[in-house]
Homo-oligomer: A and B are copies of this chain.
């Protein structure tokens, strides 16, 4: 079982975007720089987040990304599913049917118990991720992490966030 590296990038970016003020945005290039990531590839993941309506994007100069809703209403599950897809990790291939003894399909109406058990475990996984809000991640970071790191992070955000023309959607 393995999660792609994009998950880590996506969560860090979302956490950073939680720090921008009002409806300001931050460019993808800034976030790529902040984490030492490939800018062109990071765009792919940010796009997934935008498609899932976790982020909003603004085109043009002074454009960039911002959270589409408050950090309290974004869970790690939202982000993980957006980046990794909503498919369960265990996919039942129904190999029990593939043997030389071919029974009628009616013999397999009951769902495979193995599949059920695996799905139940994944449900527990997702429930735990759903509990973890982006706002918790941020506030734990602010209280627990080394002050130098927090200061550097805040400075970076302050330096790179870009105010918008007022306009459009909802404002803080």
Contacts and interface: CB of A to CB of B under 8 A. Distances in A.
Interface of A: 1-3, 5, 7-9, 11-12, 15, 33-37, 76, 80, 84, 87, 89-93, 95-96, 98-101, 103-104, 106-110, 113-114, 117-118, 120-129, 132, 136-137, 140-141, 144-146, 148-149, 152, 156
A107 B141 contact: no
B117 A132 contact: yes
Given A95-B36, A99-B156, A121-B128, A89 B3 contact: yes
A126 B3 CA distance: 15
Given A2-B2, A90-B7, A124-B125, A114 B137 contact: yes
Tell me the dominant secondary structure on chain A's binding face.
helix
Interface centre among A2, A92, A152 (most CB of B within 10 A): A2
A129 to B, nearest CB: 5
A1 B124 contact: no
A125 B109 CA distance: 27
Nearest to A127: B124
B141 A101 contact: no
Given A8-B93, A33-B99, A80-B1, A137 B110 contact: no
A128 to B, nearest CB: 4
A35 B97 CA distance: 7
A106 to B, nearest CB: 7
A93 to B, nearest CB: 6
Contact of A76 (B8, B37, B117, B149): B117
